[in-house]
Structure 1
Amino acid sequence: MHVEADLPGRVRAGLTAEAGEVLVVIGPNGAGKSSLMRVIAGLEPGRVVVDGRDWSDLAVPERRVGYVFQDQSLFPHLSALDNVAFGPRARGRARRDADRTAREWLERFGIGDLAERRPRELSGGQAQRVAIARALATEPDVLLLDEPFAGLDVSAQMALRIELGRHLRDFPGVALLVTHDAIDALTLADRVLVLDEGRVAQVGPPAEVAAEPRTPHVARLVGLNLVAVAEGEQLIAFPPDAVVVSLHEPEGSTRLRWHGQVASLAPHGDAVRLLVHASPDLLADLTPAAATELGLVPGREVWLSAKATAVSRYAARG
């Protein structure tokens, strides 16, 4: 399946996905992730071509798309069963057949006993299961999931992530999942697509994108520092625990070095994580004892350095 989406002035993205593939879309706020999904669904104007067929003039019901919104967007006056059965009924299925399909999907998500409850009677995790079941019940060619775990507590996120992963493995169409969480990309994606300023900045397997991020947003998501060198033609990436913090400029030619002010300090596991406004902003992990010994507080001038052998170097464009 090949998709070209063009929303003038905002999003211009081309993507190719095979049937059964899960493509996770990540990028900073304003990159165009949700706009891309809404254009494909027909909820915003824009040119969309799918497998050579122009969808631009197709009405929403004519597009075989299932859409899961951040806020579930369930019909508040309908039961869970009727919410899930709505799509099949709208596509012409008989009521009894649509209800049977809806019950099957609710059972698959382990909430068959909640079929008669209204959305206000459901927890956030239960409501999101209903929303996903509703999208899948229409047997879509394309499944769009816009931050499906947003607003859920950590335990509910973990449970739903595992459950959704199981259903996505059996889904025969193409699934696009927008997220801000690196865990989603690493656990659910077959490939990751990175949007930046409405353009595709990087696409590849999760491990590859995590190991060689090409945008600061992705680097921060996976906990790496990213610095452009050689006039922007090459990137170097390195973890915060490979950074040495000192109050004086380090000596020796084997280290890369930066100078800046401490912006913030925060606990990070057993370490203290520093954000330093250098050029660019960098993260550094050090022990609480070292942070105390150096007298680190916001505004303190520091030097950061990393051994050349501790960094990964790769081309800025793949």
Structure 2
Amino acid sequence: MTRPVTRPVTGLEAQIHVPDRLDATITAPPGSVVAVIGPNGAGKTTLLRALAGLVEMTGHVTVDTESWTDPPRLVRERHLGFVFQDRSLFPHLTALANVAFGLQSRRTPRRAAEQVAQGWLDRFAIGHLAKRLPGELSGGQAQRVAIARALASDPQLLLLDEPFAGLDVGVATGLRIELARHLADYRGVTLLVTHDAIDALTLADRVLVVDEGRVAQSGSPQEVAARPLTEHVARLVGLNVIRDGEGEGEGEGQTYRSFTPSSVTVSVHRPEGSARHQWHGPIASVAPHGDAVRLLVATQEPTRQELLADVTPGAATELGLTPGREVWLSVKETAVQTYAADRPR
């Protein structure tokens, strides 16, 4: 497959401030894949759009030691690939023309651009759909075209905003495998916004947690999964996390405690055992979870927060565990992992 001329890559350094929306610093070495996770409205998409030059910001963005912000570069002058949540394919262009568009906009001759584009469509197993318009493609096929378009120009920075959202599980799994195969050889920097822990654990070598417009945590997927500092991350990896000194905010030296839903004992009366940690509140939701039934309990005391607990189907029936039922949760100290927060890197 013919590919564009390549360049040395030295990574990404950025400090971004978008008033009332985002205040974040990020560094990433060449070849790295950074999963950006956090709750809705946390600032994840704003981060990607700021890097692309699509929103006004202060600060700086440097890629391969070249500043994209001093002086400011237009979007088309930033050598990046962007997969938007809505794909944003040109509806009047064929799949082949969509993928070739970025190359041609950088003055690659049409025939050469189309040759590269066809190679990328073949790589994502949709080469036979090259002449179809976006409206004639399935969701999975259109997403493959969008990813191929972002990769075709060999960008210095690859931005992926929920690339598997809205796809069937089987389609998303296949596309995830194909993307992972490419990222293993990609020398640029990738930022992947996702709500799926699978993406963070299988595609990324680093995780950046964004919460309320700030970086709340960063580290390897294993580090973040083992010691989550936000409730959102804890939910993603199937843990409960509580913070000592509720309401003090994130900060270095603060103590966190995490435990699994399966280690939680649920009862309808206040427990009298040796469990050191106890909470009380109504059940917010009940849902199947593998062989168990997972409860989400909105605890009121001693702290106000939501905790997960797994019980057997038999116990759920016997105790009448339905939404609104008041329950007690308890966890033994031996089941709790305690750790301090590190300053985000």
Q: Normalised by the shorter chain, which TM-score bucket? A: over 0.9
**3-state secondary structure, aligned to 1:131:** helix
For residue 318 of structure 2, what is the amino acid of its counterpart?
Answer: E
For residue 311 of structure 1, what is the amino acid of its counterpart?
Answer: V
- Does residue 55 of structure 1 match 2:68? yes
1:70-219 alignment to 2 at 5 Å? 70-219=85-234
Percent identity (aligned): 63
Q: 1:227 aligns with which of 242, 263, 268?
A: 242
| Structure 2 residue aligned with 1:259 | 280
Relative to structure 1, the CA distance from residue 37 to residue 136 in structure 2 (aligned partners, 3 Å threshold; closer, same or farther) is: same
- Does residue 284 of structure 1 match 2:309? yes
* Matches of 1:114 and 1:77, distance apart in 2: 15
| Structure 1 residue aligned with 2:329 | 304
Contact map agreement 2:297 2:307 (CA 8 A) in 1: yes
- Does residue 25 of structure 1 match 2:36? yes
Q: 2:27 aligns with which of 8, 16, 23?
A: 16
Contact map agreement 1:214 1:317 (CA 8 A) in 2: no
* Matches of 1:116 and 1:292, distance apart in 2: 56
**3-state secondary structure, aligned to 1:257:** strand
Contact map agreement 1:3 1:14 (CA 8 A) in 2: yes
For residue 50 of structure 1, what is the amino acid of its counterpart?
Answer: T
| Structure 1 residue aligned with 2:4 | none
**3-state secondary structure, aligned to 1:98:** helix
Contact map agreement 2:275 2:330 (CA 8 A) in 1: no
* Matches of 2:112 and 2:323, distance apart in 1: 63
* Matches of 1:229 and 1:4, distance apart in 2: 30
Offset at residue 154 of structure 1 (A): 0.9
**3-state secondary structure, aligned to 1:35:** helix
CA offset digits 1:129-164 (Å, max 9, x no partner): 111111111111000000001111111111101111
Offset at residue 297 of structure 1 (A): 2.1
- Does residue 242 of structure 1 match 2:263? yes
* Matches of 1:317 and 1:301, distance apart in 2: 36
Normalised TM-score (structure 2): 0.89
For residue 314 of structure 1, what is the amino acid of its counterpart?
Answer: Y
Q: Over aligned residue pairs, what C-alpha RMSD do you find?
A: 1.4
Offset at residue 180 of structure 1 (A): 0.7
**3-state secondary structure, aligned to 1:96:** helix
For residue 73 of structure 1, what is the amino acid of its counterpart?
Answer: S
Structure 2: runs of 5+ lacking an equivalent: 1-10, 249-253
Task: Count how many residue pairs are aligned between Structure 1 and Structure 2.
Answer: 318
**3-state secondary structure, aligned to 2:167:** coil
* Matches of 1:205 and 1:127, distance apart in 2: 31
**3-state secondary structure, aligned to 1:20:** coil
**3-state secondary structure, aligned to 1:92:** coil
| Structure 2 residue aligned with 1:316 | 341
**3-state secondary structure, aligned to 1:103:** helix
Normalised TM-score (structure 1): 0.96
Contact map agreement 1:261 1:276 (CA 8 A) in 2: yes
Contact map agreement 1:4 1:50 (CA 8 A) in 2: no
CA offset digits 1:49-89 (Å, max 9, x no partner): 21565423211111111100111111111111111111010
CA offset digits 1:235-284 (Å, max 9, x no partner): 11111110001122222444311111111211111111111110221111
Contact map agreement 2:81 2:150 (CA 8 A) in 1: yes
